[in-house]
């Protein structure tokens, strides 16, 4: 595999919200429901695979998402509970994933391809510095994952054959499938081990060095 470029997803791949699940667990506990973190993470992950996140989220979106999440946990939600989940769990701060601290040592150009709003470039620069050659943002391009057009535009701009691009994301639907369809070499970052049988799974970003073969 002759990798000449590494392209990353962002949310769940390079950045995450580490306080989210513990905060959600506490809110549910305060409402009389006791769940293990592992169950909350799994149900949230599965739901995130099937519900499309807009570039800019709002209360209406989160209310509907949280309603479906609570149903998946066996809870019939009322408006008071939904408001509590929204007020405590929405818009928590982003933080860098711990295994993303090595990016500056990757010996080929890098970029990101993300369903995100126009604040992404500033966020990435604040966490990682100017290490990314390209930042492809859905809100700016008017097309989003899993639309293949988003990936095709990135490949055209990068000006490297898709087969020579290593793509890392955390979603089978939004990242792995479209990357495969246009000929990229994808890896699924799956730190919780939800998809152990996937042919593309890695559990730590440091493992991607095994695929560079430089």
149-204 confidence digits (pLDDT tens) = 999 999 999 999 999 999 999 999 999 999 999 999 999 999 999 999 999 999 99
Whether the Cβ atoms of residue 188 and residue 202 lie closer than 8 Å to each other = yes
Residues 111, 136: Cα–Cα separation, whole Å: 8
Would you give the DSSP letter of residue 186? E
Instruction: Quickly state the pLDDT bin for 213 (edges 50, 70, 90).
Output: low
Percent of the chain whose predicted confidence (pLDDT) is above 90: 86
Q: Using alpha carbons, select from 163, 169, 213 the residue that is nearest to residue 195.
A: 169
Residues contacting 156, CB < 8 A, separation 6+ = none
Whether 16 has a pLDDT exceeding 80, the answer reads yes
């Amino acid at each position: 595999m002759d990798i000449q470029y590494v392209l990353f997803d962002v949310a769940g791949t390079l950045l995450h919200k580490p306080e989210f699940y513990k905060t959600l667990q506490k809110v549910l506990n305060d409402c009389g429901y006791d769940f293990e973190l592992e169950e909350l993470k799994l149900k949230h992950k599965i739901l995130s695979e099937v519900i499309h996140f807009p570039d800019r989220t709002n209360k209406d979106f989160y209310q509907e998402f949280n309603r479906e999440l609570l149903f998946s946990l066996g809870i019939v939600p009322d408006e008071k509970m939904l408001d509590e989940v929204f007020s405590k769990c929405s818009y928590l701060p982003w933080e860098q994933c711990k295994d993303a601290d090595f990016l500056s040592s990757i010996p080929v150009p890098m970029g990101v391809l993300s369903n995100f709003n126009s604040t992404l470039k500033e966020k990435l620069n604040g966490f990682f510095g100017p290490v990314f050659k390209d930042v492809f943002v859905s809100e700016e391009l008017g097309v989003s994952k899993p639309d293949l057009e988003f990936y095709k535009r990135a490949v055209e701009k990068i000006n490297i054959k898709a087969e020579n691009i290593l793509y890392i994301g955390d979603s089978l639907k939004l990242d792995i499938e479209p990357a495969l369809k246009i000929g990229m070499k994808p890896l699924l970052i799956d730190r919780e081990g939800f998809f152990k049988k996937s042919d593309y799974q890695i559990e730590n970003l440091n493992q991607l060095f095994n695929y560079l073969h430089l």
